[in-house]
């Protein structure tokens, strides 16, 4: 009976130590995080430049999909220049 109480007390102590370390790591990471990340996910996204998205079209000569502004597909053997 006494051994069981000691084991349970040690397990409870271990759980408390693990929780304390976990909260300490979370607090430390929050203090060292960049300001944009601390503001939330929307603020970090607005600071990044938007990448251009372009539609793909099939190359008329070989059927490979390329960007609409591309002069050709660039594949070897394709009659259109790259």
Short-list 77, 79, 75, 59, CA closest to 67? 59
Separation between Cα atoms, residue 33 and residue 45, nearest integer Å: 15
Task: Read off the pTM.
Answer: 0.40
pLDDT score of 76 more than 80 = no
pLDDT score of 81 more than 80 = no
Query: What would the pLDDT profile of 1-28 be if each residue is shown by its tens digit?
Result: 788 999 999 999 999 999 999 999 999 9
Separation between Cα atoms, residue 80 and residue 76, nearest integer Å: 10
Query: What would the pLDDT profile of 20-71 be if each residue is shown by its tens digit?
Result: 999 999 999 888 877 655 555 555 555 556 667 888 888 777 888 888 777 7
């Amino acid at each position: 009976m006494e051994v069981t109480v000691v084991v349970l007390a040690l397990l409870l102590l271990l759980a408390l130590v693990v929780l304390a370390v976990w909260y300490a790591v979370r607090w430390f990471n929050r203090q060292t995080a960049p300001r944009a990340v601390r503001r939330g996910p929307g603020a970090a996204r607005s600071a990044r430049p938007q990448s251009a998205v372009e539609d793909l079209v099939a190359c008329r000569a070989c059927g490979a999909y390329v960007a609409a502004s591309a002069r050709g597909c660039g594949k070897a053997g394709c009659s259109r220049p790259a």
